[in-house]
Chains A and B, each alone.
Chain A
Amino acid sequence: MAFQILLNFFIAVVWMFMTSSLTPSTFVIGYIIGLLLIIMTRRFFPGRLYIWRLWSALKLTAIFLRELVLSNISVLLLVIKPNLSSIQPMIFALPTELEQDWEITLLSSLITLTPGTIVIHVSDDQRTLYIHAIDVDDVDEAIDSIKNTFEKAIMEVSRG
């Protein structure tokens, strides 16, 4: 992934030197040519093309924005509720399959940034996140919703 991006930059720079015009527009043209070359020679690289990972990262951003809006609305509805005794705050454990430090950090940040849920602790073996939620009717449902949105998207980004 990083190697492919570096190679693409290198091809773009070589293109700039070939055309002997060191301008941004030449760089962009060289970058596009390099991208086409890398797509042509994709069998030589281990792992996927980096544009797919870029695409997954964009998808993750879109999912995050959607969740942000939806959960903000749900918290607003909680706040203006006349009867507050019906909300059920709780702390639950979320088993996670992510392994890298940055994946755990990203997942925790996304969970914390969406209103209504806060990561309060990461277990020592990094297999479990402890999450505090404002209003949970069903724990399994809450775990599943996080797993199916954020965790799946992050896994897609980090997949080879």
Chain B
Amino acid sequence: MSKSYPYFLARDRAWQPAQYTPRYKTSITRSPKQALVSIQRATPSERSGPVFSGLEIGPHDNDLLMNFRTDGVRPSLPIGERIVMHGRVIDQFGKPVPNTLVEMWQANAGGRYRHKKDGYLAPLDPNFGGVGRCITDTEGRYTFRTVRPGPYPWPNDINTWRPAHIHVSVMGPSISTRLITQMYFEGDPLIPLCPIVQVLKDPDAVETMIARLDMARSKSMDYLAYRFDIVVRGALQTYFEE
């Protein structure tokens, strides 16, 4: 007997970015020319997905201030603005998405990534790696502690800079809800200039990626907080089966 899996609200491809967005140059040769083939009625293959409650999450996996400290007599902390990034994963009907995997990665406070391919002259921070993961709780909540990443230049136009951002990956209840995005910071003047942000046609779609300063969750004399809620496709109740 096959298990029963939910159906999901269709992904709005006009809201989501197109593949071919020539201002973001790399998309020119990496976007399909043919139309996507629509699976009108999703099969169990699309409606199912992995659950990561069996994945062993380490005690500092969501704490980037602690998970890459240099060994030594007196381990130190990364340099930069101490922040907490937190929010909820919910679906389009506002229902929490519990026990789902949220992963993130980012540059350090100077905009430098700890990756062998990143040759930007801003230095690495010996106490900062830039990777985190956690599982949402029963209410869909997640939290990371980190430093605010710096903006950095990249070779698109002659003088193009990425706004400060944190890459965010979420699975949700099925591979239909799988999503990778980038979180930006409220008020960053680089946001409207960025060719990667501007792959989105609708300014409201850009707003879904902007974290808000959250003074209520900031900690006095310690860190500022940013709130970033993630909305994944809504799971439909199945009222009728043929």
- Do A and B truly interact? no
B interface residues with partner A (beta carbon < 8 Å): none
Q: Which residues of A does B touch, CB under 8 Å?
A: none
